[in-house]
Amino acid sequence: AEEFHGRLIDAIALLDDEAFAIYDSTGDLPAEQIIRVLRKAVVSSQLQPVLCGSSLDYIGVQPILDAVVRYLPSPLDVPPVEGKNPNPKKADKLEVRKPSDKEPFCGLVFKIHADEHSELYYVRIYSGVMKSRSRVLNPRTGDKELISQLWRMQADSREKLDEASAGDIVGVVGPKDAVTGDTLCDPLHAVLLETIRFPETVISMAIEPESSADRKKLEETLKLMSKQDPTFTAKISEETGQTIVSGMGELHLEIISKRMERDFHIKMRSHKPRVTYRETISAKIEMEGRFEHQSAGTRQFAAVRIALEPAPNEPGVVVASKLKPSTLPAELAQVFQQALDDCLKGGGMVGYQLINTKAIALDAEYREGETTDSAIRHAVSDAMGKALQKAGTTLLEPIMKLEVVTPSDFVGNVSADLNSRRAIIVNTELRGHLVVIMAEAPLAKMFGYSTDVRSLSQGRASFTMEPLRYDAAQNQPDT
């Protein structure tokens, strides 16, 4: 222990001239110098502190909290937060908010705790003052949210506040439509902060309540949980009418199922998990769509031209417009783009969600009194259907980033098993007496891997797995 402590002190001394001079002359560093240099290095991202503990057994909890205060940056140690103006006409304008109470209010919802009775939104305040019983703007929705209560959270206890200011982290009761990653701001000084980007779900399974009386309760609970956890989604299958939940892996869905039973008292039956596939457009294409209808003397007409193209750097779908201002009235131009977005989210040729795809509104034909919202939507749907049919889509499967840690005696067994699962071994390295195997593998081949890798290593290997990307599927999924 003394040897490794000495190595740590050596490394710390090399980060600062003043500390090095003291260490060189005395052979030791005082505690205040260690704390000063560590804080400086952490704030500048030269070091990342690692602390060990157990919240369950209350071991090392206080040192971790002390380290947060000592070493992590305060709002004054980092540059002012930057965001965009949510007004489309001012989208290129950079909005800056300094960590000052005199600045317009701006905060970020970073967590939502939901239970059967209420929803508590955790908000980090970057600038200005948030007051209880006030209204703030949610730029994502364009609506104002009521802040009915403010709370300072302290573990299991809470203290009611009339207001909170820049640098505070508070619990908020009142918002209805905010989700994790949303900005809340002063309605007169709108700003849209960089949102939290969550990975696509990769695994799905069907669930149903054991009692039909719990069906409504299950629906409400799933809404609460998907709002609390953006990596969890729930929907009703149009083909089967089943409730389909999706998440980041088998363990993720298992934990959510147990929580619904424990916290919400809903007993459920679950079906075998299945991979969540995606589709993407195969080639760039332009297509025209048209809608004409006459009924009871009323005529509807719309004609549109759209483009679809691959967008490999976009995790989801993107809608853009190249319409000239004179092509359509502003309201119908917005309907055009919204219809494109709705069609993209409706899925591809096989029915899976589209990703890595961009749709562009190119042109439209407008007739006064005949071109309506409904006509535009029908014309866009016609164009989208023909474009997908002609360009075709590529089926994508989730690829996982895998790290297996195993004693060297079992490397051969583990590697052979990974190869049989279509995994690509990217690298191997030694970590003390253990071997770390880094690989990329299709999720479809990784079901039950936790049990299998323990069998291959006599229970001595462990692994971590996380979503990496979507690649073209080598095999068609089972129907």
Final residue of a structural domain among 331, 359, 391: 391
- Helices marked H in 125-273: 215-228, 250-264
Quote the pLDDT of residue 122.
Answer: 95
For residues 225 and 113, give the distance between their C-alpha atoms in angstroms, rounded to a whole number. Answer: 9
Residue 171 pLDDT > 80: yes
Quote the pLDDT of residue 115.
Answer: 64
Distance set, CA 23 to CA 15, 38, 279, 332 (Å)? 12, 15, 60, 71
Q: What is the pLDDT of residues 224-255, one digit of tens each?
A: 888 888 899 998 877 677 899 999 888 899 89
- Helices marked H in 296-440: 330-345, 373-391, 411-420
Is 203 part of a structural domain of the chain?
no
Contact between residue 323 and residue 336 where contact means Cβ atoms under 8 Å apart: yes
Quote the pLDDT of residue 242.
Answer: 84
**Can you tell me whether residue 204 is helix, strand or coil?**
strand
Quote the pLDDT of residue 239.
Answer: 64
Considering only residues 180 and 427, tell me which one the structure prediction assigns the higher pLDDT. 427
Q: What is the pLDDT of residues 347-371, one digit of tens each?
A: 888 888 899 999 999 999 999 999 9
CB atoms within 10 A of CB 47: 17
Q: Residue 318 is encoded by which pair of tokens? A: 């993107």
Q: Residue 299 is encoded by which pair of tokens? A: 């005529």
| Bridge partners, 192 (sequence order) | 84
Query: What H or E segment, with its residue span, contains residue 107?
Result: strand 106-114
Final residue of a structural domain among 362, 391, 420: 391
Q: Residue 352 is encoded by which pair of tokens? A: 């899976």
The residue with tokens 């990496």 is 468
Burial class (CB in 10 A: 0-12, 13-18, 19+), 366: middle
Residues 95 and 171 in one domain: yes
The mean pLDDT of the chain is: 90
Is 479 part of a structural domain of the chain?
no
**Beta-sheet pairing, 203-209 with 243-247:** antiparallel
Average pLDDT for residues 317-342, to the nearest whole number? Answer: 93
List the domain range (segments joined by +) for residue 335.
280-391
Query: What H or E segment, with its residue span, contains residue 11?
Result: helix 2-13
Is 478 part of a structural domain of the chain?
no
**Can you tell me whether residue 258 is helix, strand or coil?**
helix
Is 202 part of a structural domain of the chain?
no
Closest CA to 333 of 343, 341, 325, 342: 325
Residues 406 and 373 in one domain: no
Is 182 part of a structural domain of the chain?
yes
Residues 291 and 370 in one domain: yes
Residues 403 and 387 in one domain: no
* Maximum average pLDDT range among 58-62, 121-125, 348-352: 121-125
Residues 264 and 284 in one domain: no
Contact between residue 116 and residue 264 where contact means Cβ atoms under 8 Å apart: yes
Q: What is the pLDDT of residues 131-152, one digit of tens each?
A: 999 999 999 999 999 999 999 9
Q: Residue 45 is encoded by which pair of tokens? A: 């991202």
Residues 151 and 221 in one domain: no
- State what percent of residues in the chain have pLDDT above 70: 98
Considering only residues 188 and 296, tell me which one the structure prediction assigns the higher pLDDT. 188
Final residue of a structural domain among 369, 391, 413: 391
Contact between residue 410 and residue 457 where contact means Cβ atoms under 8 Å apart: yes
Quote the pLDDT of residue 264.
Answer: 87
Residues 315 and 372 in one domain: yes
pLDDT bucket at 116, cuts 50 / 70 / 90: low
Residue 402 pLDDT > 60: yes
The pTM for the full model equals: 0.67
Residue 356 DSSP symbol: S
pLDDT bucket at 339, cuts 50 / 70 / 90: very high
Contact between residue 340 and residue 306 where contact means Cβ atoms under 8 Å apart: yes
Residue 422 pLDDT > 60: yes
For residues 8 and 38, give the distance between their C-alpha atoms in angstroms, rounded to a whole number. Answer: 11
Q: Give the range among 81-90, 301-310, 381-390 with minimum mean pLDDT.
A: 81-90
Residues 88 and 189 in one domain: yes
Number of domains observed in the structure of the chain: 5
